[in-house]
Structure 1
Amino acid sequence: MPEIAIVPAPRELTVGDGSWVSADPLAEAIRDVVENLGETEYRIDVTAEGARLAAGSEDALRHAETTYRQLLDAAEPAADGQVAVPVVQIADAPRFAWRGVMLDVARHFMPKDFVLKVIDVLALHRLNTLHFHLTDDQGWRVEIEAYPRLTEVGAWRTETMVGKMSHGQTEFTYDGTRHGGFYTKADLREIVAYAAERGITVVPEIDLPGHMQAAIAAYPELGNYPDQQLTVRQYWGISDDVLNVNDETVEFVRTVLREVLEIFPSQYVHLGGDECPTVQWRAAEEAQKRQADLGLDDAGQLQGWFTEQVATVLTEFDRRLVGWDEMVETDCPKDAVIMAWRSAERGEIAVKAGHQTVMTPCESVYFDYYQGDPATEPLAIGGFIPLEKVYDFEVIPAGLSDAEAALIVGAQCNVWTEYMEDPEQVGYMLLPRVSALAERAWGSPKVSYDEFLGRLRPHLARIEALGVNYRPLD
């Protein structure tokens, strides 16, 4: 009988003797939501008499179905066109509540149909969160009716830098090609509904108060120098052009968020908070006056104040703030969920400060990093994260107390698209590394890398069936 190749591996799987012979094991399996299992738990029991999938919720039953379909790949032909399904018992539940992928569609816009395929990839791997990075210096991708220039202007850059950006670089070669696009509210509602049908939550990110050059290009009054007309940024790196901190800009963000929250029902809303230079706040008269009026010792403290002001909208809608780990340094709300990206140690700092934390450290799960020899791989931002390194990722840092470890709510990989121009390249960088990430986020037994590869090789056919590109195994 073929090997059972389930990815991510269930927490408990026992293979028995014999098989169940069925003409249509998918249709003939019994499926139940039951009260004696936890909300995230499911069981699959295949005996010689039949198959039963039991789960503690509809979401858990979806996971059972995904696992069962992969189990059926191990069925063998039997008499009269039937198949023999191996006798197995599976007892399974995820270790972590947050199991995700961050997709950056701001640096390079990705078509809606491809976003739906990424959701299929998540569902195949029993992941449950698509973190949707919708805005950045290089593009604004979400329709906002109150501010139409965000997409009329902010969604388009006249051209894009060519080649690898080096630190401190100020002169660039450009491709001469206009790039952009955005999602209408109807597009986004379709994406949200498609994900929900598959048990996946779409968490929107409006990155602020930095990473806002595209918005300021559309509405110069949002910047610290409103007489200066910016363009949507055409190269990578961190822009010094950040939102000003006056009352009108606070109200702008609140209005944007109200429209975003009407589209996305997610309990969690990401407000960025990373890489916010303070050089303009230290120089601009209006920002300096705001700092003095608030009695703040440093211009950097304006970020925490600004985030607190705009996050009142989340409270109105009974949502929770999510932010990158810099937020811990800005007096952010104590109930903010922190994404530890700069290192695993940043996750330790966040939980010791009392924050629920999603682990997404750049050294382990940044999928814009090279996964092979740069001489033979497509251009990437740098770094080196091969498949085995993702498989070896430990979600919970060593040395945390039980109470601190309990604040680690999950993990995700991040797909930043500065050097990914199209869906083919995104697929190549995402897969199959996301298969290894799914093992760690689910809490699959860690037997060995070779054992994982043994399951992954046949699993690649499932990925291929989704119509998504992937990097072949070495």
Structure 2
Amino acid sequence: MPQTPVPVPLPGHLTRGDGHFLLRADTPVDAPEACGPEVAWLRGVLGAATGCRLPEGADHGPDGTGGIAVRLDDALGSEEYRLDVRPEGVVVAGGDRAGVFRAFQTLRQLMDPAVFRRAPVRQGPWAVPAVSVRDRPRFTWRGVLLDVVRHFMPKADVLRFLDLMAVHHLNVLHLHLTDDQGWRVEVPGRPRLTEVGAWRTESMVGTRHTPRHDGRPHGGYYTRDDLREIVAYAEARHITVVPEVDLPGHAQAVLAAYPELAAGPAPDGVRTGWGISDAVLAATDEVLAFCREVLDEICAVFPSRYVCVGGDEVPRGPWRADPASIARARELGLPDTDGLQRWFTAQLADMLAAHGRVVFGWDEILEDGAPDGALIGGWRGDHGVRAAAQLGFDVVASPDTSVYLDYRQAEGPDEPLPVGTLVTTETVHAFDPVPADLTADEARHVLGGQAALWAENLDSVRAVDYAAFPRLCALAEALWTEGPRDTAEFVARMARDHLPRLDALGVEYRPPGGPHPWQTRPDAPGFPRERADREAELARMTERLRENRPRKADS
């Protein structure tokens, strides 16, 4: 038999045995009723590729003799599992249904890569090498932000992306739904958000530093049922969808639809370029009513505990120049209009708390004092993560210099749209969400990490595939696997075992030797940056976090 393939992410403990189990068309599965959805998923994916029906079977006993025995074990933690494959049978034990599902993903990766196809390409039986696996996640939050605003991603492609996340034990999809360049979610009673805000007249070609436009309208949005389908599809794969609606900044699409909500003059149309608009919501009761309508709808569709309201890169110039905003700041007893940022975040947190939800904001909300209990997204290097944890806030690490997957992957001139600092597969695999100088108590506030796929330069699913893979595989291992990491072994394992799986799944990943000719973008110049320059900029951006030691704000 060939060498036992090793899964990605690497299990905590994997011991090879002798021989193999043969999966046949009539191999039975014995599982508790509670695991019915997970078994149905296994039948669906393996049945499509292998023709194995995996019929319901009788109790196979502790060794799963002749089939696959599935058990729930209270002694195991959430998402933790055991997988034992012997020539006589397979036994799967999970601490919960999610653990069973993770075990099934590992079982699938132990087989021939052809099992990842959607129809049979050869006949069985299908060999599963004898192994004993003991596995559990290092972090509870293992996510990726998917930006469907800058370039809209049709629903079917979002569902495909969820399947790819599930293969890699990722469990949070942070769905970025609104920004200056578009609005992607229906809100009853606010039809202009999708009639006007969901499309723009054209898009930039390349980065904002070489402003060229394509002259082509671009748009799209998800209906309420589309989003409910995405949520249900994710839940079946034990993935939580965390929605993001940007308030009060990144609001040009909102203000194109409802200009009366602007602080000062409203912008002319949805933003067609990248970068940050200087449009911002006014600090009025009318705007608060609008925000409440939006968040009511978001909470009705998305059951996640956390809802992200952005709070990053909020332009304060319009408030400073707007007489109504100046008057509102005085009425609220604020020292100046800059305090409206903190006030806005507190109002949004209260709206979400009324639904039993928790506000999630980027690390800028720490600068003026974040609401008690807020979840922080640390994106400005380690600075935001460190400040949040030291202040007692839970935090998700997403530093742009380590896990922003729209950033360039190599130094070569053929790299498509080389923007940002260099973030290689090795960079991502070495990522640790917990800054080394945190105390043990502070480190407990780091829930995990997530990558980001910002889509200014990702205008198709093919481009998303190229940016995401294999770096997202490296992130999955960094967040799942405990213990020291061997990046050289990971790169070798990817080439030997995992790239064939991605090939079978139809993923157009970046080849190890560089892009294919059709993956290059000579028509769209990039804007590469040196890591040292970016780190210096991040240090300046977070000076208030480091020197002023921001305090918590009352909700």
Q: Do both proteins adopt the same fold according to a TM-score greater than 0.5, normalized to the shorter chain?
A: yes
Deviates more, 1:108-117 or 1:38-47: 38-47
- Contact 1:5–1:456 (8 Å) recurs in 2: no
Q: Deviations over 1:117-168 (max 9, x none)?
A: 11011101000000000000000000111110001000111111223222xx
* Structure 2 residue matching 1:327: 3-state secondary structure: helix
Q: Which of 348, 361, 381 is residue 323 of structure 1 equivalent to?
A: 361
* Structure 1 residue matching 2:110: 3-state secondary structure: helix
Q: Deviations over 1:47-73 (max 9, x none)?
A: 332110001101111001101111233
Distance 2:345 2:485 in 1: 44
* Structure 2 residue matching 1:67: 3-state secondary structure: helix
Question: Given the alignment of the two structures, is residue 399 of structure 1 paired with residue 400 of structure 2, yes or no?
Answer: no
* Structure 2 residue matching 1:44: 3-state secondary structure: strand
Question: Given the alignment of the two structures, is residue 88 of structure 1 paired with residue 131 of structure 2, yes or no?
Answer: yes
Partner of 1:107: 150
Deviates more, 1:333-342 or 1:83-92: 83-92
- Residue 81 (structure 1) shift: 5.7
Distance 2:353 2:152 in 1: 30
Distance 1:416 1:289 in 2: 37
Q: Deviations over 1:294-318 (max 9, x none)?
A: 1112322111111211222211211
Letter of the structure 1 residue corresponding to residue 89 of structure 2: G
Distance 1:163 1:93 in 2: 41
Partner of 2:310: 272
Which structure 2 residue ranges, 5 or more long, are not aligned?
Answer: 28-45, 47-53, 55-66, 115-122, 514-555
Letter of the structure 2 residue corresponding to residue 291 of structure 1: A
Partner of 2:80: 41
Alignment of 1:315-354 (within 5 A): 315-354=353-392
Q: Which of 432, 436, 442 is residue 474 of structure 2 equivalent to?
A: 436
Partner of 2:176: 133
TM-score normalised by length of structure 1? 0.94
TM-score normalised by length of structure 2? 0.81
Which structure 1 residue ranges, 5 or more long, are not aligned?
Answer: none
Q: Which of 486, 494, 498 is residue 459 of structure 1 equivalent to?
A: 498
Partner of 1:70: 109
Q: Which of 239, 260, 263 is residue 301 of structure 2 equivalent to?
A: 263
Distance 1:34 1:210 in 2: 47
Partner of 2:488: 450
Partner of 1:7: 8
* Structure 2 residue matching 1:309: 3-state secondary structure: helix
Partner of 1:303: 341
- Residue 463 (structure 1) shift: 2.1
* Structure 2 residue matching 1:53: 3-state secondary structure: strand
Distance 1:358 1:154 in 2: 30
* Structure 2 residue matching 1:101: 3-state secondary structure: strand
Q: Which of 257, 260, 272 is residue 218 of structure 1 equivalent to?
A: 257
* Structure 2 residue matching 1:5: 3-state secondary structure: coil
Q: Which of 408, 411, 427 is residue 446 of structure 2 equivalent to?
A: 408
- Contact 2:112–2:126 (8 Å) recurs in 1: no
Q: Deviations over 1:409-455 (max 9, x none)?
A: 01100000111111111111011100000001112544422211232
Q: Which of 362, 381, 396 is residue 400 of structure 2 equivalent to?
A: 362
Instruction: Name the % identity.
Output: 48
Over the residues paired in the alignment, what is the CA RMSD in angstroms?
1.8
Deviates more, 1:437-446 or 1:95-104: 437-446
State the number of aligned residues: 465
- Residue 22 (structure 1) shift: 4.8
* Structure 1 residue matching 2:132: 3-state secondary structure: strand
* Structure 2 residue matching 1:143: 3-state secondary structure: coil
Distance 1:81 1:154 in 2: 52
Partner of 2:198: 155
Partner of 2:41: none
Deviates more, 1:455-464 or 1:361-370: 455-464
- Residue 286 (structure 1) shift: 0.8
Partner of 1:471: 510
Distance 1:81 1:267 in 2: 44
- Contact 2:330–2:336 (8 Å) recurs in 1: no
Question: Given the alignment of the two structures, is residue 250 of structure 1 paired with residue 288 of structure 2, yes or no?
Answer: yes
Letter of the structure 2 residue corresponding to residue 204 of structure 1: P
* Structure 1 residue matching 2:162: 3-state secondary structure: helix
Letter of the structure 1 residue corresponding to residue 137 of structure 2: P
Partner of 2:242: 203
Distance 2:126 2:330 in 1: 75
Letter of the structure 1 residue corresponding to residue 196 of structure 2: V
- Contact 1:98–1:409 (8 Å) recurs in 2: yes
Partner of 2:220: 181
